[in-house]
Structure 1
Amino acid sequence: MKLAAITFSPQGLLVCQQLQNKIPELQLYLHDALDFCEGAQSFTRVMELTPTIFSKYHGLIYVAPCGVVVRSLAGSIVSKLTDPAVVVVDVGARHVVSLLSGHEGGANDLAIRVANIIDAEPVISTTTEAVKDLIIGVGCRRGKAAVDIVAAIQKVMEQQALSLARVRYLATADVKADELGLLQAARILNIPLRIIAGETIRQCPQKFTSSEFVAGKVNLPAVAEPAALLAGRRTSLIVQKQALNGITVAVAQENCLSLA
């Protein structure tokens, strides 16, 4: 995807630079009141900038207030089938909102990608995604094949009579962010992969089963269970970690608010 990031605050610039470290091709657009950054383009008013770049990129990442972004987009929006993916990040890097073209345009996937990089919470309101309530935490030995990871996940879900259609995310620790088999498994299952920072796992307030083996290998108390718990909101563990030939699988459920 051809991507651009736009901000007009010093705090936003720090977030954009963090993103650019992981996405080198990311084009930065910075308000002209900010210090010059090599390769960045400057602008004076975001209301004037947005129409000029709207059709040039597959995805736009605004590190700015949502209201400002909405107003700047208003005159450019045409169709969810053609508009670029737009996500909004608060300058504190706490949340990444999938704002425009969530499903068809890829903003949901972009929000998760950005959230994984800056250790933020992706906010996705697409109805078909928001009603899913399960998160599968996965840990694995280095080099495990995608087919084995998929088989392990399917086996645990079948044993527990849980449907993969209910799964919102796969989740793992950042030490596994480049694990090819796990990345491929997420694509095969068509389930987004959330990456949880190691420090966040170490500080997890919820109870989970620790492992001396995992601690010795990756300097974490565990992977599958805390990753599943931390990748969602109001979570509880419904399947403790299951070990299958070098792969661990755990399942957490998000306790959605009752409408009754």
Structure 2
Amino acid sequence: MTLAVVALTARGAAVAGRLLGPLGQPHLYLPAGVAEGQLEPRRRFESVIELTGEIFPLYRGLVYVMAAGIVVRSIAPCVRSKHADPGVVVVDDAARFAISLLSGHEGGANNLAVRVSNALGAEPVITTASETVKRVIVGIGSRRGVAREMVKAALDRALQMAGKDANAVRWAATIDRKQDERGIREACQDYGIPLRIISSRAVRGFGGNFNRSPVVKKHLGVEGVCEPCALLAGKDAHLILEKTAMDGVTIAVAMEGPEN
């Protein structure tokens, strides 16, 4: 996916700079007069609305670091069809939220919002109906170099034990120390489940109820992976399947909302 990142302020430019590596060096657009470190934009612009009119048809994904209202006014004249429009994601200057604003499914904005949130430690905001009804969160941990098929087998078994289906999973979650595990990423891709990355700092600071392991703490510096990640990735989540280990993979299943 060819991507562009557009920022409007110096603070927004700093946030945009944090996205360049994780998003595979997207094209960067900054306003005239805004300088941010060593960032070299593809182009400077005077008007976000005019710039958007030019670049909207050129990219499959656009990330705007600015207020959502500005983005709505900028893209409004350009919007044609969900089958043709690029995915549009909006990030605030404080990098708190990554909002899937346009073309969540066909344009890939939902997945792009998760990628952006993983890069920034932000909360992904996804409002498409088919995603909002999903309440199951899967936390995943593994040994180094675990194969995709092992992760899939463990995931299948854990969901069966929890009485849930993969189609009900809102997203999977793992810790940042495991974000480069191909087996985890590929298994989630095979199932079409977005993968959230939870920071080690967030896990260390989490005071929720989960099974703490001195062995995990010795190796990763945190007291757990799959259980706290599942709980942290959801809203008011509770465990419906505690940590289950299978062939080098650990899975925990959580459900959003109050316990019955």
Task: Assess same fold via TM > 0.5.
Answer: yes
Unaligned runs of 5+ in 2: none
Counterpart of 1:101 (choices 96, 100, 103) is 103
Aligned twin of 1:74: 76
Aligned twin of 1:242: 244
Aligned twin of 1:138: 140
What is the letter of the counterpart of residue 133 of structure 1?
R
Tell me whether 1:64 sits opposite 2:66 in the alignment.
Answer: yes
| Deviations, residues 176-214 of structure 1 (Å, cap 9, x unaligned) | 110010011101111111111110111113121111111
Shift of 1:24: 4.3
Aligned twin of 1:216: 218
SS in 1 for 2:95: coil
Q: Which moved more, 1:108-117 or 1:155-164?
A: 155-164
Q: Which moved more, 1:118-127 or 1:21-30?
A: 21-30
Q: Which moved more, 1:119-128 or 1:15-24?
A: 15-24
Q: Which moved more, 1:156-165 or 1:70-79?
A: 156-165
Q: Which moved more, 1:69-78 or 1:200-209?
A: 200-209
Aligned twin of 1:31: 31
Aligned twin of 2:187: 185
Aligned twin of 1:172: 174
Shift of 1:235: 1.1
Shift of 1:119: 0.7
SS in 1 for 2:16: helix
Matched length: 256
What is the letter of the counterpart of residue 22 of structure 1?
P
Aligned twin of 1:225: 227
Shift of 1:43: 0.6
Q: TM-score, normalised by structure 2?
A: 0.95
Could you tell me whether the CA contact under 8 Å between 2:121 and 2:199 is conserved in 1?
Answer: yes
Unaligned runs of 5+ in 1: none
**Aligned sequence identity (%):** 43
| Deviations, residues 43-82 of structure 1 (Å, cap 9, x unaligned) | 1110111000001111000000000100000100000000
Q: TM-score, normalised by structure 1?
A: 0.95
Aligned twin of 1:91: 93
What is the letter of the counterpart of residue 96 of structure 1?
A
CA-atom RMSD, angstroms? 1.2
How far apart, CA to CA, are the structure 2 residues paired with 1:208 and 1:158?
Answer: 21
SS in 2 for 1:21: coil
Aligned twin of 1:124: 126
